[in-house]
Amino acid sequence: MDIDPLDTEQIGLKTLEKHLIRTRESVSLRIGIPKETSHDERRISLTPGGVSVLKANGHQIFIEKGAGDDANFTDRDYAEAGADIAYTADDVFRKSELILKVAPLTVKEFELIEPDQAIISALHFGSQTKEYFELLTQKSVTGIGYEFMRGSDKEFPIVRMMHEITGSIAMQIAAHYLESVSEGQGIMLGGISGVPPATVVILGAGITGEYAARTALGYGAQVFVMDTNLAHLRRMENALDRRVITAVANQQYLNNALRFTDVVIGATVAEGDRSPCWVTEEMVMNMKPGAVIVDTVIDQGGSVETSRPTTHSNPVFKEHEVIHYCVPNIPSNVARTATYALNNVLVPYVLAIGDAGGIKECLWDNVTLRNGTYSYKNHITKKSLSKMFDIPYREIEMLIASKI
């Protein structure tokens, strides 16, 4: 079959169409996908192609009517792929044993979730409450969070995908808010002949930071990357062929860099915990008027003291004459691309759950899903959440070993 080289949505996705051989222990899963109702969330966790793969492997998929509209996937697309279109969220939750979502459960969805159901979604623990986890344990929900899913290769597959998108989009956002029409300084990221480029400071040398740096270099900006981990800075220098300037993120270097920068990209990450806040309000006060901060980790607490969550419909505010963009779900701005990215990572894990005989059986063998589990059988299973919200926890390995 010929592939159109310009059809970017198909390149690299054909391997998903290969149907796996089901084992004798495998089960048919009832998978539910409700319409996302969190503010400005436009993504959906499965594409029609992903649905067809799961359907061919014997699973049943219930998708709420209109769930894919914001990502430009129609109900007809999903129905033709083999999904059952449900007319209400209540219908989806009632018929399903495994719920796939993008955003965490909402208050209304907590009323719909059934005891002993499993949910795979983002957790956004930087904006969660103790009550959220208490409700999960009361209903004996198995919760698997994107932020915790880590493979034996130490990679976070879903987080990486979203961080690649976030880093790239963050620079496009910064370029827009530097323009005069956005009340910025009225400068270009890359400059032109005879006019120096903008200066960009990226806080954090992780995946978001790397893709922000790649995009900023593509624009022609001068790029500084700061981190507290020298190994991460070395990796960044090697990955980008030493085209970036790196520095340890101590108070002296941060103060000097922020005083002269035009753009700050906040991308500090702490695995399974709130993001470290490196930029104080005093540092922001000393920044240029019209400079731009894009805090990409605001959903995990933020990199900048003056940051507070905003929305796609009202994305920016000014603090000390500095423009702050602090939207938690930046990839939602490119909902179709982000949905393909999510689908490509999630489908193999859902197939693995079915092949193992169910979620409980799969946790024995699948290290990524086991690492991703933060709630299991009336227990919170992450020490970081226990410390953050002062709730008891038990290790997931102990729980599944005791056959609870």
Per-residue pLDDT of 120-170, as tens digits, reads 999 877 678 889 999 999 999 999 999 899 998 888 999 899 999 999 999
Does 4 have pLDDT greater than 60? Answer: no
Beta-carbon contacts of residue 319 (< 8 Å; ≥ 6 apart): 284, 306
- Measured CA to CA, the distance from residue 173 to residue 181 in angstroms comes to 13
- Measured CA to CA, the distance from residue 189 to residue 399 in angstroms comes to 52
Please identify every residue annotated as catalytic. 124, 299
Percent of the chain past pLDDT 70, that is, above it, reads: 93
> DSSP letter at 58?
T
- Helix/strand/coil for 347: helix
For strands 222-227 and 199-203, give the pairing.
Answer: parallel
Does 20 have pLDDT greater than 60? Answer: no
193 and 60 within one domain:
no
Domain-located, residue 8 = no
Domain-located, residue 151 = no
pLDDT band at 317 (very low <50, low <70, confident <90, very high): very high
Beta bridge partners of 145: 121
Asked if 391 contacts 130 with a C-beta cutoff of 8 angstroms, the reply is yes
Last residue of a domain, one of 311, 328, 345: 328
Determine the Cα angle at 182 with ends 181 and 187, to 5°: 75
280 and 243 within one domain:
yes
pLDDT band at 12 (very low <50, low <70, confident <90, very high): very low
pLDDT band at 27 (very low <50, low <70, confident <90, very high): confident
User: Model confidence over 219-278: pLDDT tens digits?
Assistant: 999 999 999 999 999 999 999 988 999 999 999 999 999 999 999 999 998 776 788 999
**What's the whole-number mean pLDDT along residues 29-36?**
96
* Dihedral Cα 336, 314, 133, 159, nearest 10 deg: 40
| CA quadruple 321, 327, 330, 335: dihedral sign | negative
pLDDT band at 367 (very low <50, low <70, confident <90, very high): very high
- Measured CA to CA, the distance from residue 300 to residue 132 in angstroms comes to 16
pLDDT band at 13 (very low <50, low <70, confident <90, very high): very low
Question: Which of 10-14, 121-125, 302-306, 324-328 is least confident?
Answer: 10-14
Start-to-end CA span in the chain (Å)? 49
Domain-located, residue 158 = no
194 and 179 within one domain:
yes
pLDDT band at 299 (very low <50, low <70, confident <90, very high): confident
Q: In this predicted structure, what is the pLDDT of residue 313?
A: 87
Residue 29: phi and psi, rounded to 5, are -90, 150
Q: In this predicted structure, what is the pLDDT of residue 322?
A: 96
Q: In this predicted structure, what is the pLDDT of residue 301?
A: 86
Domain limits at 246? 164-328
Q: How many CA atoms lie within 13 A of 112 on its CB side?
A: 20
Q: In this predicted structure, what is the pLDDT of residue 1?
A: 43
Does 5 have pLDDT greater than 50? Answer: no
Last residue of a domain, one of 276, 299, 328: 328
222 and 98 within one domain:
no
**What's the whole-number mean pLDDT along residues 284-298?**
95
User: What CATH code is carried by the domain that includes residue 344?
Assistant: 3.40.50.720
Q: In this predicted structure, what is the pLDDT of residue 126?
A: 67
CB atoms within 10 A of CB 3: 11
228 and 339 within one domain:
no
317 and 177 within one domain:
yes
324 and 267 within one domain:
yes
296 and 346 within one domain:
no
338 and 312 within one domain:
no
Domain-located, residue 280 = yes
Domain-located, residue 203 = yes
Number of domains in the chain: 2
Does 15 have pLDDT greater than 50? Answer: no
Does 7 have pLDDT greater than 80? Answer: no
Last residue of a domain, one of 276, 295, 328: 328
Round the average pLDDT of the chain to a whole number and report it.
Answer: 90
133 and 272 within one domain:
no
352 and 210 within one domain:
no
- Helix/strand/coil for 332: helix
Percent of the chain past pLDDT 90, that is, above it, reads: 77
Domain-located, residue 149 = no
Domain-located, residue 263 = yes
379 and 318 within one domain:
no
Residue 225: phi and psi, rounded to 5, are -120, 130
Domain-located, residue 9 = no
Helix extents (H) in 222-291: 230-239, 251-260, 281-285
Beta bridge partners of 227: 248
Does 371 have pLDDT greater than 90? Answer: yes
